[in-house]
Structure 1
Amino acid sequence: MNPYLIAFRAITTREALRFVHQRERFIAALVRPLVWLLVFAAGFRAALGLSITPPYQTYITYETYIVPGLCGMILLFNGMQSSLSLVYDREMGSMRLLLTSPLPRWFLLFSKLCGATFIGILQCYAFLAIAGLFGITAPLWGYLAVLPALVLSGLMLGALGLALSSFIKQLENFAGVMNFVIFPMFFLSSALYPLWKMAESSELLHDVCQANPFTHAVELIRFALYMELAPWALLWTLVASAVFMALALWGYDPARSLVRRKG
């Protein structure tokens, strides 16, 4: 077989096996969004009225609105969890062994990214299935149309995790960095409330949310679920993916690490 295919299969299979052996990780990935969907949404429904806003053609419940944002939450936490495993692999030495492969570094990191994204997509579809059991559904074809949006969003958020893991040297420091990144990205986005709602309270917060890459990932998923394309969200998701991947490649550059040690 082509050595690239062998390496890609080995890396993605390792990610899948690690996920299979950590069943609590799958449960935790579903518990977080389900708590928001079934508990918090019930309280916010009365406080947050939602008017007709694209891509919705009629008035919707708050639970319907936050489903795309909760899919984004799953991908965000999965990307951070995958980067945590990279920090662990570096401490154990397996990451160093991987990067000494004769294959290009970008290909090895991209393979790792693809494995993590695939797992995140499985978790998203499991969440969408459970939400459907509670009557929170999207158009039938929307579940297929959303797949490319989930792939792009998962790659972007996974690349962010890769970039972070390249600068975090100790496992103990990762939890604080995760909280510093995850919660601002999630709450300062359109995952839980429309941007026009944010603009009513603060134009500055609206601008911060608008600049947040996670907002564009959520909107890409939201529009795709209703078989519509959000060109602006697509563009910024691709740009953010490229920037985060470039940072990850720079962070994992062995020459840079060697220069830092000499200095």
Structure 2
Amino acid sequence: MRRLLIALGAITTREALRFAQQRSRFISALVRPLIWLVVFAAGFRAALGLSIIAPYQTYITYETYIVPGLCGMILLFNGMQSSLSLVYDREMGSMRLLLTSPLPRWWLLLCKILAGTVVSVLQCYAFLGIAALMGIVMPGWGYVYAFPALVLGGVMLGALGVALSSLIRQLENFAGVMNFVIFPMFFMSSALYPLWRMAESSALLRDICAVNPFTHAVELIRFALYGQFNGMALLWTMLAATGFMVLALWGYDPGRGLLRRKG
């Protein structure tokens, strides 16, 4: 257990130091959702009317509605960006050295995912703080209740990024592959508009959004920010996190995945 905790601390520290040296990454992670909050929300406010839906007990502004979705955006982009470092480490050779250590491979990958999640959650709270300064304030205890939801969402998306990184052989191919994952997951979800709005235009699109794991991660965060529990969202987010973790372990299995292809 001591060795496992030492490995977790070392990998988390390495990820934190890498993040601290890339200040532009922190700024871009905040600028992206703030642009949606300030610019796009102003344009969509008049076009998208919102009814009273759970967890809200009254009418809300569009800016209030998209804050949980923008927290999900931070987790999504950071999960993919964190997995980018795995592709870089693989090209540099340090990834093979890490995976051939005597520690269990599943623990090493989980440490990598948790380290990226820590950074993502800190960025989410920085964004929530800025949103509060702009007048978009959540219930007080909601900021505490949201923590486990943010962690679980970050782990799910981080595991997805790690699974995808096992399929990418060159760093140059990473951006193209990510665009086929990030944008469909984000736009075909409840991050920017409720599912009943989707159903008005296309029942099929609504069904696709309903099975999107990112939708359930966003709804888990949304309900948690208002001190409410969404059991269905929790279940599907946990199932997706487990499935993505299994895919990541398979991808980095030396007998079938990454190491065999590189050998």
Q: What's the CA shift string for 1:29-65, capped at 9, x where partnerless?
A: 0000000000000000000000100000000000000
Q: What's the CA shift string for 1:189-223, capped at 9, x where partnerless?
A: 00000000000000000000001000000000000
Shift of 1:8: 1.0
Structure 2 unaligned blocks of 5 or more: none
Partner of 2:49: 49
Distance of 1:87 and 1:112 partners within structure 2: 13
Q: What's the CA shift string for 1:146-185, capped at 9, x where partnerless?
A: 0000010000000000100011111000000111100000
Distance of 1:217 and 1:180 partners within structure 2: 19
Structure 1 unaligned blocks of 5 or more: none
TM-score (normalised: structure 2): 0.98
Partner of 1:254: 254
Alignment of 1:86-235 (within 5 A): 86-235=86-235
What is the alpha-carbon root mean square deviation over aligned residues?
Answer: 1.1
Amino acid at match of 1:174: F
Shift of 1:259: 5.4
Alignment of 1:20-99 (within 5 A): 20-99=20-99
Amino acid at match of 1:72: G
SS at match of 1:243: helix
Distance of 1:116 and 1:17 partners within structure 2: 12
Distance of 1:79 and 1:170 partners within structure 2: 18
Amino acid at match of 2:210: Q
SS at match of 1:256: coil
SS at match of 2:256: helix
Shift of 1:3: 1.2
Partner of 1:12: 12
Distance of 2:262 and 2:136 partners within structure 1: 54
Alignment of 1:229-248 (within 5 A): 229-248=229-248
Distance of 1:90 and 1:173 partners within structure 2: 14
Shift of 1:251: 0.1
Amino acid at match of 2:222: R
Distance of 2:42 and 2:19 partners within structure 1: 31
The list of structure 1 runs, each at least 4 consecutive aligned residues, that deviate by more than 2 angstroms after superposition, is 257-262
Distance of 1:255 and 1:181 partners within structure 2: 27
Amino acid at match of 1:109: L
> Sequence identity, in percent?
76
Shift of 1:260: 5.0
- Bigger shift: residues 251-260 or 123-132: 251-260
Distance of 2:166 and 2:199 partners within structure 1: 35
Q: Are the structure 2 counterparts of residues 230 and 22 from structure 1 closer, same or farther at C-alpha, using a change threshold of 3 Å? A: same
Distance of 2:113 and 2:261 partners within structure 1: 26
Shift of 1:5: 1.4
